[in-house]
């Protein structure tokens, strides 16, 4: 028979051991929580990369579709080369995104492996503790021993405490068994997640290799098209001269419209000043009207986030001075950006505003100017327009159908800002969303 003193000593040792184990489990739990926090951050970043990958895949699919449509017309155009160049850029961006995803997954795998190892250590400690409990319970399995331990108390209060302690010890074994079961389930889940991560990494690695091959193939195709285009240099030079002449006409018309607006505003301000003088009141300063300041602030707040001015398309010519993509010695000075779209391509307003001009340039289609305070967005190369002067438009509203130049459907887009006595062309790439 186990003596009451021996039972008390065993119980005291178990309590001390439980306290040590509990401290160790708390440390393990804290470590796991830290790992889970890091994993949550990594998961958010991974989701961002996955969204970026999906967007790039959409752009690549659209570019391939537009190239195919252009090639199906059995004409080799400079736009095909530009679209192919953009496709290569999208593929390289996709490759970088996939590489980033793989690195994140590798970090996550490393964290999960640490977490699995910690869970295994914790489970082992719990199993060892449970084994000690079972052995101790076996050695003290007699109900008589437990009763003797309680009845050997010096008073009723001590007997009650001993009775509660024996109950607690039995409950603790049951809790330990439940905790072990939960920990085993947690460990199994962590192992499954780890295996899923490894499979995802293998899948992405295969996609990465495929994209590398696609980039190599696109670059070879680019060289082939470039060689063919150079053989048609005269035609390309003629096209470039016509485009340059059309763009000069557009710029002259925009500047003319801006000058007319500035002159009209000057006359309005002069009339208002004369009226104030006749009434004996102080004339107002020529500072910007409050509604214009408000529109400017709203427009500027969306810098870098304006939607693209086409329903779907690929940017095939960028802003500023740049060498011609296929004719050596020729430089292009683009005051906007060009978007190649499909046969049903629509021009869409990049921001809310008022239509202040609709005009035609012979051979270059119709043009729309929308005013947003001191800013103006210009949409050129339209076959048909859906708006008229004075109309209020909303962001992403369809305002016209993109015209075909005989080979491709290209929208020319510009952003201007009225500064003082003139207007200045802005770089649209800094205003629209980056893709």
- Whether residue 297 is found in the same domain as residue 337: yes
Q: What was the pLDDT predicted at 110?
A: 83
User: Residues near 163 by Cβ (< 8 Å), separated by ≥ 6?
Assistant: 150
- Residue 174: helix, strand or coil by DSSP? helix
pLDDT, tens only, 84-128: 888 888 888 888 888 888 888 888 888 878 877 887 787 787 777
What is the rounded end-to-end Cα distance, in angstroms, of the chain? 82
pLDDT, tens only, 16-55: 555 554 555 555 555 555 555 555 555 677 677 777 778 7
- Whether residue 163 is found in the same domain as residue 257: no
Q: Is the dihedral of CA 108, 113, 118, 124 positive or negative?
A: positive
Q: What was the pLDDT predicted at 182?
A: 76
pLDDT, tens only, 180-202: 677 777 778 878 877 888 888 88
- Whether residue 76 is found in the same domain as residue 204: yes
| Residue 230 scores a pLDDT above 80 | no
- Whether residue 66 is found in the same domain as residue 185: yes
Give domain status of residue 435, yes or no: no
Q: Which of 208, 229, 250 is the last residue of a domain?
A: 229
Tokens of 342: 């499909």
Domain extent, residue 90, equals 4-229
pLDDT, tens only, 336-385: 999 999 888 999 999 999 999 999 988 889 999 999 999 999 999 999 99
The 3-state secondary structure of 61-87 reads HHHHHHHHHHHHCCCCCHHHHHHHHHH
pLDDT, tens only, 201-227: 888 888 888 888 888 888 888 777 777
- Whether residue 15 is found in the same domain as residue 109: yes
| Residue 420 scores a pLDDT above 70 | yes
Cα–Cα distance, 271 to 138 (Å, whole number): 106
Instruction: Identify any residues that bridge with 376 across adjacent strands, giving them in sequence order.
Output: 371, 416
- Whether residue 300 is found in the same domain as residue 216: no
Q: Where is mean pLDDT largest: 146-155, 289-298, 398-407?
A: 398-407
pTM of the model: 0.63
**Dihedral, CA of residue 431, residue 371, residue 266 and residue 421, to nearest 10:** 30
Domain of 198: which CATH number?
1.20.1270
- Whether residue 38 is found in the same domain as residue 159: yes
């Amino acid at each position: 028979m186990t003596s009451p003193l021996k039972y008390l000593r065993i119980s005291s040792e178990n309590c001390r051991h439980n306290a040590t184990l509990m401290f160790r489990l708390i440390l393990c739990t804290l470590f796991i929580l830290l790992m889970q926090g890091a994993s949550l951050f990594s998961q958010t970043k991974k989701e961002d990369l996955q969204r970026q990958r999906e967007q790039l895949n959409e752009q690549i699919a659209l570019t391939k579709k537009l190239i195919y449509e252009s090639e199906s017309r059995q004409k080799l155009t400079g736009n095909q080369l530009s679209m192919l160049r953009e496709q290569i850029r999208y593929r390289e961006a996709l490759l970088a995104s996939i590489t980033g995803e793989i690195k994140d997954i590798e970090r996550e795998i490393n964290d999960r492996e640490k977490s699995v190892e910690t869970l295994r250590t914790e489970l082992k400690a719990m199993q060892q503790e449970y084994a000690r409990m079972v052995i101790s319970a076996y050695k003290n399995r007699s109900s008589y021993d437990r009763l003797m331990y309680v009845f050997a108390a010096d008073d009723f209060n001590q007997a009650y405490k001993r009775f509660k302690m024996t109950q607690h010890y039995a409950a603790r074994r049951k809790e330990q068994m439940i905790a072990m079961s939960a920990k085993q389930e947690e460990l199994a889940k962590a192992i499954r997640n780890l295996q899923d991560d490894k499979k995802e990494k293998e899948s992405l690695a295969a996609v990465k290799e495929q994209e590398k091959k696609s980039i190599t193939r696109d670059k070879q195709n680019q060289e082939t098209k470039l060689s063919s285009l150079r053989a048609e240099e005269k035609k390309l030079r003629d096209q470039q001269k016509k485009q340059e002449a059309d763009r000069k006409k557009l710029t002259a018309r925009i500047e003319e419209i801006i000058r007319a607006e500035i002159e009209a505003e000057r006359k309005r301000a002069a009339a208002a000043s004369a009226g104030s003088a006749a009434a004996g009141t102080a004339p107002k300063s020529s500072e910007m009207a409050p509604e214009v300041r408000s529109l400017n602030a709203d427009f500027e707040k969306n810098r870098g986030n304006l939607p693209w001015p086409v329903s779907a398309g690929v940017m095939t010519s960028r802003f500023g001075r740049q060498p011609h993509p296929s004719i050596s010695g020729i430089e292009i000075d683009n005051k906007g950006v060009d978007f190649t779209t499909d046969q049903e391509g629509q021009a869409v307003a990049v921001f809310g505003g008022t239509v202040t001009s609709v005009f035609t340039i012979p051979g270059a289609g119709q043009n729309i100017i929308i005013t947003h305070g001191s800013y103006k967005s210009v949409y050129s190369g339209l076959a048909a327009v859906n708006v008229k002067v004075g109309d209020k438009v909303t962001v992403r509203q369809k305002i016209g159908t993109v015209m075909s130049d005989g080979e491709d459907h290209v929208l020319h887009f510009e952003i201007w800002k009225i500064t003082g006595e003139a207007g200045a062309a802005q770089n649209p790439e800094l205003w629209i969303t980056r893709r």
